Structure 1
Amino acid sequence: MAHPVRPRARLRPGWWFDTLNIGLMGLLVLLILYPFWQVVILSFSTALEATSLGFHFWPKTWSLEAYKFLFSYDEIIRPYLNSILRTVSGTALELLFTVLAAYPLAKRELPFRSTVTAYFIIPMFFSGGLIPSYLLIKSLGLLDNFLVLILPGAVAIFSIIIMRNYLMSLDAALEESALMDGAGYWTILFRIILPVSTPVLATVALWGAVGHWNAWFDAMIYIRDRDLTVIQVIMREMLTSVSQQYNDLVLSDNAQQAELSLSNVRSGITLLSIGPIVLIYPWLQKYFVKGIMMGSLKG
Structure 2
Amino acid sequence: MPVGEKIAAVFNVVILTVLSLSIILPFLNVLALSFNDGKDASLGGITFWPREFSLANYAEVFSNPDILSGLKITLFRTIVGTLLSVLLTAMAAYALKKKDLPGRNVFTLLIVFTMLFNGGLVPYYMVLKTLHLTNSIWVFIIPTLYSAWNIILIRTFFQSIDGSLEESAKIDGANDFQILFRLIMPLSLPVLSVICLFNAVMHWNDWFSGVFYVNKETLRPLQTILQQMLTSAEAMRKNLSMNLGAADPRLSVTGESMKMATVMVSVLPIACIYPFIQKYFVQGIMIGSVKG
RMSD: 2.7
The whole-number CA distance in structure 2 between the counterparts of 1:192 and 1:242 is: 52
Q: Which moved further from structure 2: 156-165 or 244-253? A: 244-253
Alpha-carbon distance, 1:254 to partner: 2.6
Aligned counterpart in structure 1 of residue 67 of structure 2, from 69, 76, 82: 76
Partner of 2:260: 267
Query: Structure 1 residues 25, 156: closer, same or farther in 2, change over 3 A?
Result: closer
Q: Which moved further from structure 2: 281-290 or 178-187? A: 281-290
Partner of 1:5: none
The whole-number CA distance in structure 2 between the counterparts of 1:281 and 1:233 is: 23
Q: Deviations over 1:126-161 (max 9, x none)?
A: 121111111111111122111111101011111111
Verify: 1:189 aligned to 2:180, yes or no. yes
SS at match of 2:66: coil
The whole-number CA distance in structure 1 between the counterparts of 2:76 and 2:8 is: 50
SS at match of 2:233: helix
Query: Structure 1 residues 28, 213: closer, same or farther in 2, change over 3 A?
Result: closer
SS at match of 1:69: helix
Q: Which moved further from structure 2: 127-136 or 23-32? A: 23-32
Aligned counterpart in structure 2 of residue 159 of structure 1, from 147, 150, 157: 150
Aligned counterpart in structure 1 of residue 205 of structure 2, from 214, 228, 231: 214
The whole-number CA distance in structure 2 between the counterparts of 1:85 and 1:18 is: 45
5+ residue gaps, structure 1, are 1-14, 293-299
5+ residue gaps, structure 2, are 1-5, 286-292
Residue pair 1:80, 1:231 contacting (<8 A) in 2 also: yes
Partner of 1:238: 229
SS at match of 1:76: helix
Alpha-carbon distance, 1:19 to partner: 9.6
TM-score by length of 1: 0.84
TM-score by length of 2: 0.86
Give the % identical residues: 37
The whole-number CA distance in structure 2 between the counterparts of 1:261 and 1:42 is: 11
Match of 1:281, as an amino acid? Y
Query: Structure 1 residues 67, 101: closer, same or farther in 2, change over 3 A?
Result: same
Alpha-carbon distance, 1:60 to partner: 2.1
SS at match of 1:274: helix
Partner of 1:288: 281
| Structure whose CA Rg is larger | 1
Match of 1:133, as an amino acid? Y
Q: Which moved further from structure 2: 137-146 or 200-209? A: 137-146
Query: Structure 1 residues 121, 242: closer, same or farther in 2, change over 3 A?
Result: same
Residue pair 2:38, 2:57 contacting (<8 A) in 1 also: no
